[in-house]
Amino acid sequence: MTTTESSDDLTTGVPLTVTQSALATVLAVRAGEDDPAGTALRVAITGANMTEFAYSLDLVPIAEAADDDAVYTQGTHGELTVIVPAASVDNMMGATLDVPSASGGGGLVIRNPNTPDPLAGLDLELT
């Protein structure tokens, strides 16, 4: 498990930053878990749709983190443990978990400066 200290500021080595608004949303949902303090937010890239990544956000026990996952805390007082699977770390670097800016919208949004390579895995011959 790769553990990184972090705060609300984007820190080197932290793949995903959680804004205060998103932190409040996640903590409110996590409060309904059986063991909120032992529960982490796991954020993984699950695929790609040409120009955007697809994500999975889950609340899981902190103990489920794999040895090579990035595990760190977010919030002024480290209120939230975040787990990013090792396979997702490189493509998540610089991303931010936030609430949608459109009024009336609920949920969370990931703003990721990285995009998938739409030609990855294709064997092209250009002549």
pLDDT in tens, 72-109: 999 988 999 999 999 999 999 999 999 998 756 678 99
Return the number of other C-beta atoms located less than 10 Å from residue 85's C-beta: 19
Q: Are 17 and 8 in contact (CB under 8 A)?
A: yes
Residue with tokens 């899981």: 60
Q: What is the mean pLDDT of residues 48-71?
A: 94
Summarised one tens digit per residue, pLDDT across range 10-54 is 345 799 999 999 999 999 999 999 999 999 999 999 998 878 999
CA dihedral 100, 25, 10, 119 (to 10 degrees): -50
**Secondary element (H or E) of residue 71:** strand 70-74
pLDDT of residue 49: 84
pLDDT of residue 9: 41
- The mean of the pLDDT values for the chain is 87
pLDDT of residue 122: 64
**Secondary element (H or E) of residue 97:** strand 95-98
